Amino acid sequence: MRALTAIVFLLCLLPGLLQAEEKYVTLDDGSSIKVFLFYPKNADEGPWPLTVLMSGGSANEYIVRAQFWLGHELANRGWAIAVPVSPDGDGFFGKIGESIPQVIAKLQQDIPEIDHGKSLLVGVSNGGSSALEIASRHPENYFGVVAVPGIIKDSENIGDFKGLPVYVRIGENDFLRWNRLLPQLKAELEAAGARVNAKLEPGANHVFPINWEELQPWLDEIRETANTPDPAKPGMHQLRRSFTQ
């Protein structure tokens, strides 16, 4: 725990990573969730597909700001980024995790720079675990999940992934010993219907820099696949023709 605290502290000291747009998203029950937003530098060329970045630990504002480095990296690769702050400081598991689809829908509706349609869930540590849980409830709404790292905290809260792509990396030297859980995690995800790309990150501890040489091709593939029409489903021109016949 002290090691994780030290990592968070050092990340918070990094210059230039603490600037983000702040927005409060009002949920259907009248409550609200604070969200930090990042956009690609060429934002005027949007709208951009949305990534929801789930922070580690309790996902309070202090820890959320510590994960801004990853938000900037994703934004530089063509994603609009939303980083939600846990309203109760308890992360986004269980019922509060069910608010994330509402947050996504309202951001897509209200912000012109954010594209409609599928979004990406990315999580670090506890955030990776909550991202897996959230995505399994409505996998059709997402391009995929990136858990760097993440595990299944409660298998009873995991639904059917229905072929959703899931990218998992866990540090080879993870001090929480999540590395020992990787074979079981991969088996559980595949049993739940996920398409899993899972590895140990060589020499890494619990929190580690992203290996973009591995992640970027995976991101490109899931976006391309999502935009490729399913030949089993009729296109709009086929639907129009069938209605006029």
The single-letter DSSP state of residue 86 is P
Q: What are the tokens at 109?
A: 């509706």
CATH code of the domain in which 174 resides: 3.40.50.1820
What residues contact residue 130 under an 8 Å CB cut-off, 6+ apart? 54, 59, 91, 92, 93, 97, 123, 150
- Range of the structural domain that residue 103 is part of: 2-244
What is the band of 243 on the pLDDT scale with cuts at 50, 70, 90?
A: very low
Residue that is written with structure tokens 């020499």 in the block = 203
pLDDT (0 to 100) of residue 235: 42
What percent of the chain shows pLDDT beyond 90? Answer: 76
Q: How far is residue 132's CA from residue 145's CA, in Å, rounded to a whole number?
A: 7
Single pTM value for the model: 0.86
CA distances, 172 to each of 77, 162, 194, 198 (Å): 26, 29, 23, 12
pLDDT (0 to 100) of residue 64: 93
Look at the chain and report how many structural domains it folds into: 1
- Summarize the confidence of residues 33-44 as an average pLDDT: 85
Tens of pLDDT, residues 195-214: 999 999 999 999 999 999 99
